[in-house]
Amino acid sequence: MMVSFFDQFASPLYLGIPLIAIAITLPWVLYPTPSSRWINNRLITVQGWLINRFTNQLMLALNMGGHKWALLLVSLMIFLITINMLGLLPYTFTPTTQLSLNMGFAVPLWLATVIIGMRNQPTVALGHLLPEGTPIPLIPVLIIIETISLFIRPLALGVRLTANLTAGHLLIQLIATAVFVLLPMMPTVAILTATVLFLLTLLEVAVAMIQAYVFVLLLSLYLQENV
């Protein structure tokens, strides 16, 4: 039984071809492309308004140098939200439950922020490794601790997204299994459990959006330290 619970996180294959590639490319097909007309339909108007609001909120703490990242960060957040939301549908696969995919997003983007900081302002970037006013005997220890925390950042980004989505999917499957088991024996308890399942599904929809936002927000904070 426990093996079947974790089978949903295995990348599906069709004729030996991993379908994770289709799951990654599908979200880009679902969004309507803006037209060159002055007046768009309601869907494109709402989509553009939401993207503009999020971009303004995300770029608020960054200077003009960090605004070059706006397109990349906003596209990444929309991409993650779409993948996470599609993964909540029945008989679907969520690529962001794979740690390898999340690390593939986190490590290059984190490394890019570090390289930008070392290239543009190396003194300030290295100064983050040693807080101001540190006693001299603690300097070597703090430098080691701050260096370790710096290299843990991409791992924390990937593990946070993977763990939250994996835990939510497992919990939904466990409660859904309990509903089917309890339905013939205790219908009242099964109905109450199904209500909990519905509320948990709504919570997972919020988690899917919040985790994508947190992923991009932390990247923007790392960028803020280096631009």
Output the average pLDDT for the chain.
84
Phi, psi of 109 (to 5 degrees): -70, -40
| Domains identified in the chain, total number | 1
Dist. CA 31–CA 191, nearest whole Å: 37
Q: Are 194 and 152 in contact (CB under 8 A)?
A: no
At 121 the pLDDT is 84
Q: What is the pTM of this model?
A: 0.83
Q: 90 pLDDT exceeds 50?
A: yes
Q: Are 145 and 181 in contact (CB under 8 A)?
A: no
Task: Identify which of 216, 212, 106 has the alpha carbon closest to the alpha carbon of residue 164.
Answer: 212
**Band (160; pLDDT cuts 50, 70, 90):** very high
Tokens of 203: 């919570």
Task: Say how many CA atoms lie within 13 Å of 142 toward its Cβ.
Answer: 14
Euclidean distance between the first and the last CA atom of the chain, given in angstroms as a whole number = 50
**Band (1; pLDDT cuts 50, 70, 90):** very low
**Band (106; pLDDT cuts 50, 70, 90):** very high
Task: Identify which of 21, 47, 23 has the alpha carbon closest to the alpha carbon of residue 33.
Answer: 47
Q: What residue has token string 């763990």?
A: 163
The whole domain housing 142 covers 1-226
